[in-house]
Amino acid sequence: MKEIPPIDVPHTIRLIEDFIRTRVSEAGAKGIIIGLSGGIDSAVVASIAVRALSPKKVFVLFLPSSTTPSTDLNDVKTLCSQLELSYTEIDIQNFVDILAEKIQEEENPSHLEWANTKPRIRQVIQYFFANRLNYLLCGAGNKSEIMIGYFTKFGDGAADLLPIGDVYKTHVIQLGKYLNVPESILTKTPSAGLWEGQSDEAEIGMSYLQLDAILYGLERFQTENEVASYLQIPVVDVKKVRVMIYQSEHKRRGPLVFKLGIRTPSIDWRIPLVKPSDV
C-alpha cells in the first residue's frame, strides 16, 4: 500500500499551537479541557496544547467504563507524568448502569445505541467542567475519522475546537513520534474501547494506511478508478469510502436550519464574524 506524502511536522505543530492559543483567546477562556483516552489522538492533542498554553491551563479528564482496557490508565499516567499534567479520573459505568435501569434494558456494549451512549456521557461530564472552569473543550478527532463519520454525533464529535481535525491518522502518528509520545501509545492498536476486543480498523473495514491513501486521492478530485489504479486496490474499496463520506455528511454539520428570514443562522450568518469595535 502506497503511503500519503509526509507533512512538515515542526511547521504543522507550530500552526496548531497558534490555532489553540487564538481560539482560547477569542473565546475569553482560561484554558482547555482534554479527555485523555490512552490513545494516540488525544495524546498528540494534549502534547501540543501543553506547548501552546502551559500545563497549568490544560485540564485532563480520564473517563473509563467497564469496557476500557486496563492498559489505558497506565498510558494516561505515563503521558501526564511526561507532560507535567495532573488528571481527574471518573468512572462513567455508574451513569451507564443508571440509564440501563431507568429504561429497563440490559446494557449490550456491542450494540450501536449503547456504544454511542458512553461518548455522550463523557461529553456531558467534560462540558460540566468546561463551564465550571471557563475552559474550552478540546476534541481529538482526526481527519480520517471525521471524513467517514467514525465518531459519535454529540459524543466525541462534540467539542469547541478540533486541533487535529484536518490531520490524517497516519500524519497524527508522525506528530506523535516527533512529540515523543510514549511508545506504548504509539504502537497500541487503535480502539475506542467501547466493547471488549474492539478495533477501529476492524470496524472501518480497512487499515488507516489504506483509508488515508483513498481519502487523499479523493480530496484531490481523482476518480474512483484513478485512485484504485494508483493504489492497486479493488475499486470497490474506494467506492466504500466514498459512500461512508456521503452517508456521514450530517455528522459533520450542525442541525439543518429551515430558511425563512433574510439572514438565517448557519446559512447566511457565517463565521468568522467581524469583531465589534466595543468588544
Domains and CATH numbers, the chain: 9-200 (3.40.50.620)
Return the pLDDT at 279: 60
Q: pLDDT category, 188, cuts 50, 70, 90? A: very high
Tally of CB atoms within 10 A around 208 = 20
Percent share of the chain, pLDDT over 70: 96
Instruction: Please report, rounded to a whole number, the percentage of residues in the chain having pLDDT higher than 90.
Output: 83
- Per-residue pLDDT tens over the stretch 211-267: 999 999 999 999 999 999 999 999 999 999 999 999 999 999 888 888 898 888 877
154-164: per-residue pLDDT in tens? 999 999 999 99
pTM surpassing 0.85? Answer: yes
Residue 14 is which amino acid?
R
CB neighbours (10 Å) of residue 13? 20
Q: Which residues contact 209 (CB under 8 A, 6 or more apart)?
A: 1, 3, 170
pLDDT tens-digit map of 122-133? 999 999 999 999
Adjacent-strand bridge partners of 61: 35, 88
